[in-house]
Amino acid sequence: MVALDPERALHDARGLVASPAKLWQFLGLYHSAFAHLVAGRAVPALDSLSGATRLFAAPPSIAALARRTSAHVHLETVSPRSALSTLEEAGSGAFLDHDHDARHLQALAYARLADDESATRIAATLEPAHEAHIHGELSASIRRLRDASEQVTEDPMSSPRTACLIRYAYARALVRIGSSDEAASVLESLVSNPQAVVHWPVPFVRSLYQLGAIYAATGKRDSAHILFRKFLRLWNDGDLDRLEVDEARQSSMA
């Protein structure tokens, strides 16, 4: 349902929300959240996820979907601390004990708060690629992030959402050390996969901007303008990454 036309996706999702069946309402709210994220609107995305969470306290597999996604939105758009609070509110330790992706987000939040002890403790319970991701974030290790990226790319059973998150983290780390060519290669693989926006819109749309910035810095102005226009078409009127939106707008007019 969510694609690169967020307004159409939102219209379709509202049709589900209007259904008398709770499951369809839940799915409508959940897809509304993703449509809002594609359009760069974190606040209404969190509102939609909050509504989905209130609809289903059980079964746990359905309830966890909205709770985990809400924590993920907090982590990527608000703060690591609010992500941890969201995970704690989601329920007890049973939720985190049985939800691997939620524990990955919890460890990542602790890593971004520089709480090495908590992040390392939780990382030890994760799959190898996710553990490498956490240690890569903790130590700013390109090698560990590369290992994590390669593992999720090669493993057909890896969560597509997690793969997007890890590969984007690896690309950003490459940008920070000035490895623009390698970063561009990773980002190109992300933006060339239209399914990436379905699995996790935030790193997909941010990849459009980051790759455009690399192209602009290396003299590929036409390619940069194409990517900046795609980025602006999605996030120009949202509430996310306003500095990057302004920079993309100025670069597109240059």
- Write 95-103 long-range contacts (CB < 8 A, 24+): 95/60, 95/64, 95/67, 98/60, 99/64, 99/68, 100/126, 100/127, 100/130, 101/68, 101/159, 101/161, 101/162, 102/64, 102/67, 102/68, 102/71
**Which position has the higher pLDDT, 220 or 164?**
220
Q: What is the mean pLDDT of residues 10-28?
A: 93
Q: Given the structure tokens 């192209």, which residue do they identify?
A: 215
Task: Express as a percent the part of the chain with pLDDT over 70.
Answer: 93
pLDDT per residue over 121-156, tens digit each?
Answer: 999 999 999 999 999 999 888 999 999 999 888 877
Helix spans in the chain (H):
6-17, 22-38, 42-55, 60-77, 80-89, 93-98, 100-112, 116-123, 128-139, 142-154, 160-176, 180-191, 195-199, 201-217, 221-235, 242-253
Give the confidence band of 59 by pLDDT, cuts at 50, 70, 90. low
Q: How confident is the model at residue 30 (pLDDT cuts 50, 70, 90)?
A: very high
pLDDT given for residue 1 in this prediction? 43
First to last CA, the chain: 35
Mean pLDDT of 60-73: 83
pLDDT confidence of residue 221: 94
Report the pLDDT averaged over residues 207-235: 95
Residue extents of the structural domains in the chain: 1-56
Longest CA–CA separation in the chain, Å: 55
How much is the pLDDT for 12? 92
More confident call, 44 vs 56: 44
94, pLDDT greater than 80: no
Going by C-beta distance under 8 Å and a sequence separation of 6 or more, which residues neighbour residue 52? 26, 29, 30, 33, 65, 66
User: How many residues are given for the chain?
Assistant: 254
pLDDT band at 110 (very low <50, low <70, confident <90, very high): very high
Dump pLDDT digits (tens) for 167-216. Answer: 999 999 999 999 999 999 999 999 987 677 777 899 999 999 999 999 99
Q: How far apart are CA 7 and CA 179, in angstroms?
A: 36
